[in-house]
Amino acid sequence: MLKKSISFPYLLWMIIFVIVPLGIMVYFAFTTSGGSFTFENIEKISQYTPIFIKSINLAIIATIICFFISFPLAYILSRASDNYQRTSMLLLMLPMWMSFLLRTYAWMTLLENEGLINKFLGLFNIGPVQMINTPGAVVLGMVYNYLPFMVLPLYSIMAKIDNSVIEAAQDLGCNIFKVVIKVLLPLSLPGIITGITMVFVPSVSTFIISRMLGGGQNMMIGDLIEQQFIGSTYNPNMGSAMSLILMVIMLVVMGITSSLDDDEREGIVI
């Protein structure tokens, strides 16, 4: 009984701030500005397909880079001494205590044609190299901002893997590469899935990073949706439809990744 009464405020909160807005969004997505039912908004999205594909591509690239940086790092951290672990974790989290905007501005000043990196390269008569306003800069911004979201779940699951399990794999003939493939990867799969979700979802829907580091040419879904609400092409019905499609895409991605996890529980992987 106690449980029920405690959960009530949360339930109320979720209804007001999650369920109801979702309903409003779905309503807008399927209506015209006049209020009559239509599929037109959804149909019109097809003209933005290239932007959707580009967004998903960049987010996937950023997620993959994050994974390959984080996996070894998380493993090293999980095997290090307590002091080393604490210090490294602090250093990793420290940038997150600063404003997201500020961090991205900092990259702007670094990457600009007149920026620090190009000035440095200029000393050796190289460049200026075009770095800002490229898809690479957008991916860099995503990796830089969302890396901790990949490291943390990986680290916390790897810290639970007993060293003797890794030694057992070596004992049974695995070199380092095989230890990773046959033991470390399958055992940290739940952390990998969380990490992928935590990096992919904000990456695919970001609009600040793409605007600041990607310039006009590297528009992403987030920018597109923002334009529908506060930009020049004011059209909240269209914006809602785009948001709905984005949600569906994310649901599909999460469905695929978590089905991997189910397989793992059945012991089929490997």
Helix ranges (H only) for the chain are 2-14, 20-29, 40-44, 49-79, 82-93, 100-111, 116-122, 135-158, 163-171, 176-179, 185-187, 189-205, 208-214, 221-230, 236-266
Q: Which residues contact 66 (CB under 8 A, 6 or more apart)?
A: 142, 143, 146, 147, 149, 150, 195, 199
Backbone torsions φ then ψ of 31, nearest 5 degrees: -130, 160
Contact between 83 and another protein by CB under 8 A: the answer reads: no
Contact between 162 and another protein by CB under 8 A: the answer reads: yes
Q: Smallest gap, in angstroms, from Cβ of residue 163 to another protein?
A: 9
Binding piece for another protein, criterion CB under 8 A, among 22-30, 158-166, 220-228, 235-243: 158-166
Considering only 74, 142, 183, 196, the residue that binds another protein (CB under 8 A) is 183
Contact between 79 and another protein by CB under 8 A: the answer reads: no
CA angle 200, 135, 260 (to 5 degrees): 25
Contact between 256 and another protein by CB under 8 A: the answer reads: no
Q: Would you give the DSSP letter of residue 96?
A: G
Contact between 103 and another protein by CB under 8 A: the answer reads: no
Q: Smallest gap, in angstroms, from Cβ of residue 262 to another protein?
A: 13
Contact between 5 and another protein by CB under 8 A: the answer reads: no
Binding piece for another protein, criterion CB under 8 A, among 112-120, 130-138, 167-175, 249-257: 167-175
Contact between 9 and another protein by CB under 8 A: the answer reads: no
Q: Would you give the DSSP letter of residue 268?
A: -
Residue 46: what residue type?
S
Contact between 172 and another protein by CB under 8 A: the answer reads: yes
Note the residues at the interface with another protein (CB under 8 A).
Answer: 162, 164-165, 167-175, 178, 182-183, 186-187, 189, 264, 267, 269-270
